[in-house]
Amino acid sequence: MSISRCRLSAGIIHLDEKFFEVLLSKRLTTKTDLRHQLLVPTEALGDDKKLIVGDLIISFDQNGKQWKFPLATRKTDRGKPSRYKKPTIPPGSWHPFVQEFGLRADDAVIFYIRKHDIARKIQVRAMRKAFLLMGKKVWKEVEKVDNQASTSQPRTPA
């Protein structure tokens, strides 16, 4: 099933709330998001406690492949101890996802649950801007990269 009812606002993808419950969405803008760990927006750990640090987010991509993303915290900021524990998905689980889908700057990721899914399986999708329609960006799901090579870094000629 393709996610067709989504829009990006302030860097976050929103889905039609009648059908989907969004747990986390983020536009991938930093080198860290693409080459290392996913820096999770603090808002994802809001008062409703959809996600809790220490959780293992077991999610499924559009091909049915299971991905396990531990939600951890960074205890340092630029090499110094941080007062604020910033949520992340560590490189060991995040970077393989980036590589498999060939994610690049300005792509986005979304974790959501379909409201009619009794099992409440978490879905994860990589999204890319497809085109503009009446001045609004239309997003599409990113398909798995066949050769498993990442497009997040420039390729060198052979």
CATH number at residue 72: 2.40.330.10
Residue range of the domain that includes 78: 6-141
What integer is the mean pLDDT of 107-131? 90
Is 42 domain-assigned?
A: yes
**Residue range 73-82, pLDDT digits in tens:** 877 777 777 7
Is 79 domain-assigned?
A: yes
**Residue range 7-56, pLDDT digits in tens:** 444 334 556 677 888 888 899 988 889 998 999 888 777 666 577 777 89
Total residue count of the chain as it appears in this document: 158
Is 94 domain-assigned?
A: yes
Q: Give me the number of domains the chain comprises.
A: 1
* Count of beta carbons in the 10 Å neighbourhood of residue 13: 21
Phi first, then psi, for residue 14 (nearest 5°) are -120, 140
The pTM score is 0.76
Q: Is 44 helix (H, G, I), strand (E, B) or coil?
A: helix
Q: Which two tokens stand for residue 99?
A: 């590589």
Residues 18, 26: Cα–Cα separation, whole Å: 21
